[in-house]
Amino acid sequence: MRFHYLLPAALALVVAGCQAVNTTRGGAVGVERQQSMLGLLSAQQVDQMYAQSYRQTLAEAGQKRVLNSRADQVQRLRTVSQRLIAQVGHFRDDAPGWAWEVNLVDAPEVNANCGPGGKILVYSGLFDQLSLTDDELAAVVGHEIAHALREHGREAMSKAYALEMAENTAGALLGLGQDTRALADTVAQYALTLPNSRTNEKEADLIGLELAARAGFDPRAALTLWQKMGQVGGGQGPEFMSTHPSSSTRMQGIEQALPQVLPLYEAARGQ
């Protein structure tokens, strides 16, 4: 019981070491939420950590001869991605200068991600199982780029570090055993992390829509994309859906944002 009183106090001390930042401009879609980042964890550190993991993934795929082995899909992916990357300056000034990379792994997973610093990785299962149009592919990649622009990875790591530091402080003061502290960690993780992950997904949906529209891709394709995602695997959805859940609420959010981005799409098409 005393742990529950001490943990918020310990968290408050750790949070005091966090900084409220605006990683991106709001854009036409109005993503204005300030994010709490641990001052000890810089964007450069997170980029370097992820880049190392990305290099390892590429090396393993290269050894298996499944890295960029399907020229037609690689060309489509890179063409779509470059058009999206050309629009990232609308959200943050430094992003056009990131060391962007776009690679394809020939594997059945229906999955994609864009890690910190602009490291895009897509699996060929997306093409094979969903028969994506270029507009739908732009919806996938734009969504993932949005996560990188908003530094959602760094934000999640900041929360995890803050929670661990607070628990270590509170646990040491009370002399708690490891099992008790592990239980407290699980409870706190569910309480603090999951609601924010839903927020992050909504932000990525909105910014991804705007990136696609500004690049001349039809943002309405996001709706057909998520419909296709929900139909893969007998309705269970692919691995991508485990971290990018589709729901009626999500579809409604996309539909509500379309009036803000469709004029951008029409302007891009008219250029």
Comparing CA positions, the residue from 99, 115, 94, 87 lying closest to residue 27 is: 87
Q: Largest alpha-carbon pair distance within the chain? A: 67
Burial class (CB in 10 A: 0-12, 13-18, 19+), 159: buried
DSSP structural state of residue 20: E
Give catalytic status of residue 151 as yes or no: no
Comparing CA positions, the residue from 91, 110, 93 lying closest to residue 243 is: 110
Q: HSE-up of 188 (CA within 13 Å, CB side)?
A: 21
Query: How do 35-38 and 18-21 pair as beta strands?
Result: antiparallel
Cβ count within 10 A of residue 231: 14
Q: What is the residue whose two structure tokens read 């732009």?
A: 138
Catalytic residue among 32, 109, 136, 144: 144
CB of 209 closer than 8 Å to CB of 39: no
Residues taking part in catalysis: 144
